[in-house]
Amino acid sequence: MSKKIVFSGVQPSGDIHIGNYFGAVKQFVDFQDSHECIYSIVDLHAITVWQDPNLLRNNIHEVLSIFLAAGLDPDKNIIFNQSKVSEHSELAWLLGCTARVGWLNRMTQFKDKVGKNKDTASVGLYTYPILMAADILLYKANQVPVGDDQKQHLELARDIAQKFNNDYKVDFFKLPVPIMNKNATRIMSLRDARNKMSKSDVSEFSRIMIKDSNDEIIKKVMKAKTDSMKMPENIDSSMSRPEINNLINIYSVCNNLSKEATIEKFALKNIADFKKDLADVIINTIEPISKNSKKLFKDKSYLDDILKVGAERAKNIASYTIKETKKIIGMM
């Protein structure tokens, strides 16, 4: 039986934080032996908000070096930057004619990002989910490892695939499903547990970056906002305390423990003691990735070779899908 196809992407719009790592990249690594995996550094998505060209180039290498340091094997996976495979943009146009304006108007991420400044946002930011659908459908991916914030975009990709298949009476595009990492579907900000941990939060203390030094990690964890009670003794009391619940989730994913096991281990202990242990396990998890990625980052020609080979392999699949899609639509 042929392996199922996995596709996912990460924007090179800044360094990777532990939300990106646990929500997405760690899952990418878990899939690489059992699935046919295609992972893209989605630079076309990144420019929906202005990027400094030099920084963008730098960030593409940066994200790739973190992928590799986290354990992604470039021989087992197709790894490339999105703009090298022009079929992504082409399919986005074709699917843009299937997607409905009303569907895009429902996208909460767009609304959250632009707030009251809708008129000055780029058109690309608005049509972003169509490009994301194209990324996935181009490779007929069945499974898409992502964090919870991408769930609505995945639903839109399914709607587009389904409408296309219905409109042209074909069974062509597969309907992709999101795959989430149980305790890391949404790692929250360390400053305000109502918001997800995000690259764009103004406070550096809201997130732990893969490349943070050990001292920075300790400082951020010890300063993480919590209440002043003892550690919770069961799931219900943990769930009613969002800040501590978030830290318990992070501890659990770092140690591959169930949430119940983490709660039992620290029940009724002091939060400060828990935080010390938490900083240790975060450091143990990300220090090797951080060190290794810094080494890999220096070898630009090695990184460029990986992107070149990855793009060639991706293009082979993508160009076939475009040819078939055009045929279905009635183009020569």
For strand 177-179 and strand 5-10, is the pairing parallel, antiparallel, or unpaired? unpaired
Would you say 203 or 270 has its CB closer to ligand TYM? Answer: 203
The closest residue (CB) to ligand TYM is 23
Instruction: State which of positions 180-239 bind ligand TYM (CB under 6 A).
Output: 184, 186-187, 196-197
The only residue of 41, 60, 78, 144 in contact with ligand TYM, by rule CB under 6 A: 144
Would you say 108 or 270 has its CB closer to ligand TYM? Answer: 108
Residue 225 designated active-site: no
Would you say 176 or 232 has its CB closer to ligand TYM? Answer: 176
Helix or strand or coil: residue 77? strand
Task: State the minimum distance, in angstroms, from the CB of residue 158 to ligand TYM.
Answer: 12
Could you give the CA distance from residue 146 to residue 127 in angstroms, rounded to a whole number?
A: 19
Catalytic hit among 113, 163, 219, 326: 113
Catalytic hit among 199, 219, 230, 265: 199
The only residue of 5, 6, 23, 160 in contact with ligand TYM, by rule CB under 6 A: 23
**Ordered strands of the 5-10 beta sheet:** 77-81, 36-41, 5-10, 143-145, 177-179
247 is a contact residue toward ligand TYM (CB under 6 A): no
Could you give the CA distance from residue 257 to residue 183 in angstroms, rounded to a whole number?
A: 9
The only residue of 62, 87, 90, 135 in contact with ligand TYM, by rule CB under 6 A: 135
62 is a contact residue toward ligand TYM (CB under 6 A): no
Could you give the CA distance from residue 198 to residue 202 in angstroms, rounded to a whole number?
A: 9
Could you give the CA distance from residue 37 to residue 15 in angstroms, rounded to a whole number?
A: 22
Could you give the CA distance from residue 41 to residue 81 in angstroms, rounded to a whole number?
A: 5
Task: State the minimum distance, in angstroms, from the CB of residue 80 to ligand TYM.
Answer: 13
Binding mask 28-47 for ligand TYM (x = CB under 6 A): --------------x--x--
Q: How many residues bind ligand TYM (CB under 6 A)?
A: 24
Q: Show the DSSP H helices in the chain as ranges.
A: 18-20, 26-31, 43-46, 53-70, 87-96, 101-105, 108-114, 123-137, 151-167, 214-223, 235-239, 242-255, 259-266, 271-297, 300-329
Token pair, residue 256, equals 């591959």
What phi, psi does 317 have (nearest 5°)? Answer: -75, -45
CA dihedral 127, 132, 134, 135 (to 10 degrees): 150
SS3 assignment for 10-56? ECCCCCCEHHHHHHHHHHHHHHCCCCEEEEEECHHHHCCCCCCHHHH
4 is a contact residue toward ligand TYM (CB under 6 A): no
Would you say 24 or 193 has its CB closer to ligand TYM? Answer: 24
Task: State the minimum distance, in angstroms, from the CB of residue 8 to ligand TYM.
Answer: 4
Would you say 89 or 234 has its CB closer to ligand TYM? Answer: 89
Residue 269 designated active-site: no
Q: Which residues contact 124 (CB under 8 A, 6 or more apart)?
A: 47, 48, 131
Residue 223 designated active-site: no
The only residue of 136, 283, 286, 311 in contact with ligand TYM, by rule CB under 6 A: 136
- The residues assigned a catalytic role are 113, 196, 199
- Enumerate binding residues for ligand TYM (CB under 6 A): 7-11, 19-20, 23-24, 42, 45, 132, 135-136, 144, 146-147, 149-150, 184, 186-187, 196-197
